[in-house]
Amino acid sequence: MVDDAASDDAGVDPEPAAGGVEPAEDDGPTTGNSEAIARAFADGPAYIPYLAVGDPDYESSLEYVEALERGGADLIELGLPFSEPIAEGPTIQGAVVRALEGGMTPDRFFEFVEELDVDVPLVCMTYYNLIYQWGEASGPRPFVERAAEAGLEGFVVPDLPAEEADPLRDACDEFGLDLVFIVAPTTEGDRLDRIMSRVSGYVYVQARLGTTGAQDDVSDRTAASLDRLREYDVPKAVGFGISAGEHAERIVAAGADGIIVGSALVDIVAEGAEADRSAETVADRLEALSRELVEGADRGYRARSPTADSR
Amino acid sequence: MSETTPNADRDETQRSTAVDPADPADPTPVPGETDGKFGRYGGQYVPEALMPAIEELTDAYQRYVLENEDGFMDEFRRRLREFGGRPTPLQHAERLSERYDRDVYLKREDLLHGGAHKLNNALGQVLLAKYMGKSRVIAETGAGQHGTATAMAAAHLDMPCEVYMGERDINRQRPNVFRMTLNGTTVTPVTAGRGTLKEAISETMRDWAGSVEDTHYVIGSVVGPHPFPAMVRDFQSVVSEEARRQALETIDELPTDVVACAGGGSNTMGSFAAFLEDESVSLHAVEAGGSDLSIDEAAGVAPNSASLYAGEEGVLHGARTKLLQDAHGQIVESHSVSSGLDYAGVGPELAHLADEGRIHPAAVDDDQALEAFHLLSRTEGIIPALESAHAIAYLETVAGPENEGEADAESEVGSGSETAGQEADALGDAVVVTVSGRGDKDLESVIEETAARDIDGAPDMSAFTGGI
């Protein structure tokens, strides 16, 4: 689904492909900057788990993220906690509080990424002020440069709409990282075009309005959102509310190229912290839920394309 | 200097071409180019789910507020008169004038219905929500002043209303919580963080992200994403429009100075807006210096709310502005004896005007504000909100008897007073001070805070320390 052959780079910058996916435009390459992210979507639906880094402490958090890979993660979103997480529901707010109280900072976050022993691509999810403030020079460039050095492949920034994103977009292109945008159920028309002209890597399809949080049911607005996005040639990963294998199955069957799961995993971490469980027990549970989600996604994929091989 | 940002120079012209210029159906200017920025500040840093609502609001602001479509502004002004009691007086304050040896005029927003300037904005936005066909309004509140104003406006205009309020503020402002409830509003406590205005704004934005299709967010100050800072300023600018006209009518000239307190900055911008073009008028934004103007990085706390004076540029609650934050960009907890000023950010237009040198930020501390509260109560018969007391305290620190002679000294840095920001701000001979609200809501806090201090001119608190 990702056109790896696209190399029609019209920009002055010869090396990284500029981000941006335009429908029926001749100047837009259709792949992102990161080959690793493209590969995560290349062989069936991508399972994309999220955890807040440093929740509830640095060492446990390392084990938890590594458990996600064992559970079948194709790509992992690592949350760098910000004090005012306006897009997050109570579950991830709780994770942010625990991680900040555990001493997580942007510098520790980069060390964490460097220490992490996983082979899947890592995407940093955080709020713009942390990106903007980091380093001596003003603007997002120093943070992006450091992120690239640490081995991150891209960003999701929930409080950065396309209109304000150009400095970060350019820095990502300079250092070969992807910039993922969130598309809401209310996003359509010109707004959608504006976002899709700046997105790279994958697009984060928000399954319903509101904030993040696990739900018993997932919104049927997802199908409509996927329909609106059909013409854009970029992987579509659906998040917000997915907490069980059957959700994953239904969403992939509806056409999603990936599923993003955060709060359901963070709930396991929170419960472990509260009940004072060993990091090993919590890691095992994270791995088990991951497997359930991956299996669900694979069932959905087979339902959609009966001839497709399971991974 | 502040017309362009380094980022704009480098990127934005280039990127904006990504929007099809041949498409006349795209009415939205690319923010960052024209709309929504005050110099390098402002913008629209919000989750994507809110952007369609922000665009809808931008369009409604343009049509109803700026172009008076369907007579919106006529109806707004009529309701401000009939329901709100405008215009409010510009009163010559005789004792203060004597004390400070210059004419002091009080713009009496405490006499507006509800007891604070907040109604100007709340009535405007709830009415706008009605014109937009929304069926519900939500709001955040710190001191409870914006919450009560929104609750009154919502009852007046028959709109369901829910107000988010930090748990700590709920305990500090119980009478206001009851007032909102009387007006039929649901008050929802916010327990995150320290439970003050910052958390209440975050929680209201979260509600809005899920309810955006039928709900309008009545933001309470000149903060947040465009168009809120401009729109709230426009609704509040009736304060300075009246004050300017009243000054010309009664003293036949413009004042030399306008002094207003600044938290988020709605009464500040309201008090300044009509004077911005009058270069002879000095504009003083008085922030809450709390107990100390520094930031305690380890504790993540700023014992003040002086974002203009002590803050650094950053992005919070939808706008780039000056913020109280640590070296990593985490927002710190602010403090003020006045919960209405207790906020870690400030309106982006004020940040810009401060950079431009058009306004003079200053800060007075908790003690000075309390002294001013008692001074105005005792000498003028006006019990001011603790927020407004900061503006009065500024007069005392710059022109009070203990600072004899300093008030007229130009730009003497470190001229002896401890008051931050006073050096550059000598006062002229006709000073307008906005009394943004009345102090009834603060009586419990004042008893507690006064009893804990040795305040000049305060009455004996011992009979009241158990509460009123």
Task: Give pLDDT, residue B310.
Answer: 87
A88 neighbourhood in chain B, CB within 8 Å: 206
Q: Which of A66, A88, A153, A249 is catalytic?
A: A88
| pLDDT tier for residue A198 given thresholds of 50, 70 and 90 | very high
pLDDT tier, B465 (very low <50, low <70, confident <90, very high otherwise) = confident
Is residue A82, in this structure, part of any structural domain at all?
yes
Q: Look at residue B9 and tell me whether its pLDDT is greater than 60.
A: no
- Span B432-446, average pLDDT: 93
What pLDDT is recorded for position B147? 96
Tell me which chain B residues have a C-beta less than 8 angstroms from the C-beta of A161. Answer: 44-48, 51
For B49, which of A82, A83, A206 is closest by C-beta distance?
A: A206
A183 and B48 in contact by Cβ < 8 A? yes
Query: Which of A39-48, B2-11, B197-206 is the least confident region?
Result: B2-11
Is A81 contained in some domain? yes
Is residue A251 in a domain?
yes
Residue B328 contacts A where some CB pair is shorter than 8 Å: yes
* Mutant choice from B12, B35, B48 vs A, greatest count of A C-beta within 10 A: B48
Predicted confidence (pLDDT) at residue A308 exceeds the cutoff of 70: no
Q: How many residues does chain B have?
A: 468
Contact yes or no for A133 and B55 at CB 8 A: no
Provide the pLDDT for residue B340.
Answer: 84
Contacts of A195 in chain B (CB under 8 A): 48
Within 8 A of A21 by CB-CB distance, chain B residues are: none
Q: Which residues contact B269 (CB under 8 A, 6 or more apart)?
A: B222, B232, B233, B236, B237, B347, B349, B350
Answer yes or no: is pLDDT of B34 > 70.
Answer: no
C-alpha angle B166-B299-A95 in degrees, rounded to nearest 5: 60
CB of B22 less than 8 A from some CB of A: no
Subunit contact A163:B44, Cβ cutoff 8 A: yes
Helix, strand, or coil (residue B419): coil
From chain A, the residues in CB contact with B332 under 8 A are 83
Number of domains in chain A: 1
| Residue A112 pLDDT > 60 | yes
**In chain A, pLDDT over 70 holds for what percent of residues?**
86
Mean pLDDT to the nearest integer, B116-128: 98
**Structural domain that includes position A126:** 40-304
- For residue B22, the model assigns a pLDDT of 39
CATH number at residue A98: 3.20.20.70
Catalytic residues of B: 118, 140, 436
pLDDT at A217: 63
Nearest-Cα distance to chain B for A303, in Å, is 30
d(CA B396, CA B404): 10
Q: Using one digit for the tens of pLDDT, what is the confidence trace for B443-458?
A: 988 998 998 888 888 8
Q: Tell me if B47 and A86 make a contact (CB, 8 A cut-off).
A: yes
Q: Pick the range with the lowest mean pLDDT from A223-237, A283-297, B447-461.
A: B447-461
Of A133, A169, A211, the CB nearest to B210: A211
What does the pLDDT read at residue A249? 95
Q: With b meaning 16 or more CB within 10 Å and e meaning fewer, what string describes B178-210?
A: ebbeebebebebbebbbbbbbbbbbbbbbbbbe
Q: Could you say which of A169, A183, A210 has the minimum Cβ distance to residue B209?
A: A210
Chain A touched by B25 (CB under 8 Å): yes
B434 close contact with A: CB closer than 8 A = no
- Are A128 and B19 in contact (CB < 8 Å)? no
| Structure ipTM | 0.86
Residue A133 pLDDT grade (very low, low, confident, very high; cuts 50, 70, 90): very high
Strand ranges for B46-191 from DSSP E: 90-92, 103-108, 136-141, 161-166, 186-190
Residue ranges and CATH numbers for the domains of chain B are 50-78+118-231 (3.40.50.1100), 90-115+237-451 (3.40.50.1100)
Which of A140-154, A200-214, B7-21 has the highest mean predicted lDDT (pLDDT)? Answer: A140-154
A227's tokens: 């329909």
The pLDDT-based confidence of A58 (bands split at 50, 70, 90) is very high
Residue A249: active-site member:
no
Q: Worst-scoring range by mean pLDDT, B28-32, B148-152, B229-233?
A: B28-32
Of residues B47, B209, B314, nearest to A132 (C-beta): B314
B299, pLDDT greater than 90 = no
Beta bridge pairs of residue B315 = B320
Whether pLDDT at B95 is above 80: yes
pLDDT of A14? 39
Is B30 in the A-facing interface, judged by CB distances under 8 Å? Answer: yes
Q: What is the pLDDT of residues A4-25, one digit of tens each?
A: 433 333 333 434 444 455 443 4
Phi-psi region of B71 (alpha: psi -120 to 50; beta: other; left: phi over 0): left
Residue B58: pLDDT over 90: yes
A279-304 helix and A245-253 helix, angle to the nearest 10 degrees: 30
Question: Do B300 and A197 lie within an 8 Å CB cutoff?
Answer: no
Chain A residues whose beta carbon lies within 8 Å of the beta carbon of residue B331: 83-84, 129
Catalytic residue among A66, A77, A153, A287: A77
CA distances from B48 to A93, A173, A194, A245 (A): 19, 22, 12, 27
The answer to whether residue A246 sits within a structural domain is yes
B169, pLDDT greater than 90: no
Quick one: pLDDT at residue B19? 37
Q: Is the distance from CB of A167 to CB of B10 less than 8 angstroms?
A: yes
Distances (CA, A) of A299 to A32, A246, B23: 27, 9, 42
Query: Which residues in chain B (141-170) have CB-CB distances under 8 A to chain A?
Result: none
Between CA B279 and CA B58 the distance in angstroms is 30
For A147, what's the count of Cα atoms within 13 Å in the CB-facing half-sphere?
Answer: 33
Q: Does B52 touch chain A (CB under 8 A)?
A: yes
Q: Is residue A31 part of a domain?
A: no
Q: What is residue B165's predicted lDDT score, i.e. its pLDDT?
A: 94
CB atoms < 10 A from the CB of B373, how many?
A: 30
The model's confidence at residue A2, banded by pLDDT at 50, 70 and 90, is very low
Scan residues 198-237 of B and list those with Cβ closer than 8 Å to A.
Answer: 198, 202, 205-206, 209-213
Flag whether A15 is in a domain. Answer: no
Q: Per residue in B373-410, pLDDT tens?
A: 999 999 999 999 999 999 999 999 999 987 654 444 33
What's the pLDDT score for residue B267? 96
* Per-residue pLDDT at A28 exceeds 90: no
Does residue A14 lie in a domain region? no
Contact A211 B206 (CB under 8 A): yes
Q: How far apart are CA B394 and CA B368, in angstroms?
A: 8
Task: Identify the bridge partners of residue B432 per DSSP, sorted by sequence position.
Answer: B105, B258
Above 70 in pLDDT, residue B24? no
Does a structural domain hold residue A150? Answer: yes
